[in-house]
Amino acid sequence: MKQSLTFLLVSLVVFFSCKENTLGAPEDLNESQENSNSTPKNIILLIGDGMGISQITAGMYRNGNKLELERCNTIGLIKTNSKKELITDSSAGATAFATGKKTRNGMISQAMEDSTNYKTFVEYAEENKKATGIVVTSTVTHATPACFYAHYPRRYDANEAISEQFVNSGVDVLIGGGKKYFETRKDGRNLLQELTEKGYTIPDTLTSNFDTKEIFKLAYLYSPTQPGKRVFSEGDEAPSRGPILPLATQKAIDVLKKDTNGFFLLVEGSQIDWGGHNNDSEYIINEMLDFNESIKIALDYADQNGETLVIITADHETGGYAIIEGELDGSSLTVGFSTKHHSASMIPVFAYGKGAKNFSGIYDNTQIFYKMMEAFGNDLTK
Ligand SMILES: [Zn+2]
């Protein structure tokens, strides 16, 4: 009881002090952009899987009491329940973002009643001749990214079925783990070969020097299955993946921005959730700071480009995580967890850039889809 009260208090304090700080910020280019009714050309959606208020708060204290998120003047809250369950999983959560429809846990952008496919935001964007991209720190076939380009009734054991659907998705940039599901498949197909034939560049490594000038389609699968953590810890099976998320976010933007019709980019900090499931606070914080660096890349691009909307949110909270004690400088934080699973608490939405104002208020997670559609000039709510 004490833990959940602390959690609530911390949440409220952080939520309101964040709003106050940003309301007092000087009016700048961004402020006028945010109020603009005209539609942004590009949307970057960043999802911190399992990133509740306490995950954000812990990252903030560790980062010297600041985060890139504080640049956002528009803040909202979403309700995260799935169609059947109070506590959502990542597939029902991402289906809501990607299609505007609720389904039950475990389903990848399909109806729970009869497995009818729900059309996804990526499919709409492709139809509207936008470039699209997906950048994650899980396998690219994992629940959150999969819901944006694939349809399947079960999220587990679906890797090969989902990677197969990617080939014809039209998605221009794909960066994440799961090379095995493309290359060493039961059906003997080599999907990387098929992607090469479709014009994708498939590099062996991605460095800051990687030249994207001549590249319009890019698939970089940087680990055979699930990628390692940002910061390696004793006993981990996979090596550290390093700062691939911020780098990949930059490279994806560099490729996608060449499309004169604009682009949609999904970036997921996938492993904040895994830190929560492990009840491992250091894991959560390291992944949160990795995500923070990626948010910076997106916000800086919005500043520079002037026609970009950036939305940062999460599918759900993981771990019932709370900060109970600690040092003011964030060097040591005593935390508690109330579950090894997800929790039901509402999740913040931060928006920045052109058309951001539409994301304030309290609403359902499905509204993220409709608000993004509206931003791109397709109002499906009417
Ligand atoms: Zn999870």
What is residue 381's predicted lDDT score, i.e. its pLDDT?
Answer: 61
Q: Is residue 331 part of a domain?
A: yes
**Cα(247)–Cα(12) distance, rounded to whole angstroms?**
33
Range with lowest mean pLDDT among 27-36, 141-150, 373-382: 27-36
Q: Is residue 234 part of a domain?
A: yes
Q: Which residues face 76 on adjacent strands?
A: 349, 361
Decide: 269 and 290 in contact? Cβ < 8 Å. Answer: yes
Count of domains forming the chain: 1
Q: Is residue 19 part of a domain?
A: no
Does this model's pTM top 0.75?
A: yes
**Cα(317)–Cα(73) distance, rounded to whole angstroms?**
22
Say yes or no to pLDDT of 146 above 90.
yes
**Cα(335)–Cα(281) distance, rounded to whole angstroms?**
7
- Ligand 1 centroid – CA 284 distance (Å): 12
CATH number at 69 reads: 3.40.720.10
Q: Please, what is the end-to-end C-alpha distance for the chain in angstroms?
A: 44
pLDDT band at 382; cut points 50, 70, 90: low
Percent of the chain at pLDDT > 70 equals: 89
Q: Is residue 203 part of a domain?
A: yes
Task: Give the tens place of pLDDT for each residue, 150-177.
Answer: 999 998 889 999 999 999 999 999 999 9
Q: Known catalytic residue: 90? A: yes
Residues 6+ apart with CB under 8 A from 34: 73, 74, 351, 352, 353, 354, 355, 356, 357
- Ligand 1 centroid – CA 111 distance (Å): 21
- Ligand 1 centroid – CA 233 distance (Å): 20
What is residue 20's predicted lDDT score, i.e. its pLDDT?
Answer: 38
Helix (H, G, I), strand (E, B) or coil at 161: helix
Which one of 11, 82, 90, 109 is the catalytic residue? 90
- Ligand 1 centroid – CA 3 distance (Å): 21
Q: Is residue 123 part of a domain?
A: yes
Domain boundaries, position 227: 2-13+43-286+302-354
- Ligand 1 centroid – CA 349 distance (Å): 18
Q: Is residue 22 part of a domain?
A: no
Query: Cα angle vertex 125, ends 119, 128, to 5°?
Result: 115
- The mean per-residue pLDDT over the stretch 366-375 comes to 97
Average pLDDT along the chain? 92
Q: Is residue 56 part of a domain?
A: yes
- Ligand 1 centroid – CA 135 distance (Å): 18
Task: Give the tens place of pLDDT for each residue, 19-51.
Answer: 434 443 444 555 566 665 678 999 999 999 999
Relative to beta strand 218-221, strand 173-177 is parallel
- Ligand 1 centroid – CA 213 distance (Å): 37
**Cα(137)–Cα(353) distance, rounded to whole angstroms?**
25
What is the SS3 string spanning 219-252?
A: EEECCCCCCCCCCCCCCCCCCCCCCHHHHHHHHH
Other beta carbons within 10 Å of 213: 7
Q: Is residue 108 part of a domain?
A: yes
